[in-house]
Amino acid sequence: TRLARIQTRVSGWVTKLYVDFVGQRVKKSDPLLELYSPDLLTTQQEYLIARGRGQVGGTGGLDNLADAPLRRLALSGVAPEEISELQRTGRPRDTLLLRSPIEGRVLERNVFEGSYVEPATELYKIADLSVVWLQAKIYEFELPHIEIDQPVAVTIQSEPNKPFQGRVTFVEPVVQEATRTVKVRVEIDNPQELLKPGMYADLKIEHDMGEGLLIPESAVLRTGERAICFRSLPGGRFEPVEVKLSGRFGDRFEVLSGLSEGDKIVVSAGVLIDSESRLKSTPSG
């Protein structure tokens, strides 16, 4: 919504460039370039001829003939003040002055002085960087904890100790199949333009998760279809327990079933215990 793609509505030759490098800052209505268009000059002359005939003949019908060229000038992108000047002075302008519709930075420039351009040619891309979007990737299991207008703290590598405040404005309705993630859009105020398009950033979203049972990631042994923990029993024995896991919090998982608060479990060497149990079960099998 803060990006402008600058194109002309008439064909012609660029006679002068006012903005000639990427990164240049422009204000709204600043001149970008001047374009010489024979069609534009012809339309102005048609208006002056029609107006002159109307004044001499004094007929309202001929006066109305001047409205059509004026409308074509407006539809061609001629500014209202330039049309007013044509009506006041009666002198046609040789070139069309193209102005910036927004304030911002020039991100792309695809035009040179003396080049021929057409309406399909994108001349400039200008962006207002005072507000930027962060496209974040949220894992599928984290989606229940994401809400619109949720506050977000964002950090970048160049300013690690300066978090930027933003808010969630959109959650994409589809899941990326390869990564099992969903894109979430975060809108951030950027008055000093410290956030640059193309940067990588980390975001932190705080959400009240309530109460639950957590175990260390190292305590979970994944078999592909199941998640196994080893519960400690009296006498130095261990019991494999299938657990159902929910969300991940740093290096810990939430346990929905299989364990209870106060259970003692193995948090390291779980692979060795599993391997030993398999070896002992082989002869009995």
pLDDT at 57: 42
pLDDT at 135: 94
Q: In what order do the strands lie in the sheet with 3-6?
A: 3-6, 124-127, 104-109, 25-26
- Asked whether the whole model's pTM tops 0.85, one would answer no
pLDDT at 235: 87
pLDDT at 58: 44
pLDDT at 281: 63
Q: Which residues of the chain have pLDDT under 50?
A: 56-62
Four-point Cα dihedral 248, 253, 255, 256, nearest 10: 10
CA distances from 30 to 24, 71, 75, 236 (A): 12, 23, 20, 80
pLDDT at 210: 82
Q: Give the residue among 256, 244, 229, 6 at the shortest CA–CA distance from 111.
A: 6
Angle at 229 between CA 225 and CA 231, to 5 degrees: 150
Contact 182, 174 (CB under 8 A): yes
**Could you tell me which residues come within 8 angstroms of residue 214 by beta carbon, excluding any fewer than 6 positions away?**
249, 252, 253, 254, 255
- Note the pLDDT tens digit of each residue in 262-281: 999 988 876 777 777 766 66
User: Residue 34, by phi and psi: left (phi above 0), alpha (psi -120 to 50) or beta?
Assistant: beta
pLDDT at 244: 92
Contact 8, 32 (CB under 8 A): no
Site of tokens 């990631």: 217
Determine the residue type at 106.
Answer: V
pLDDT at 54: 57
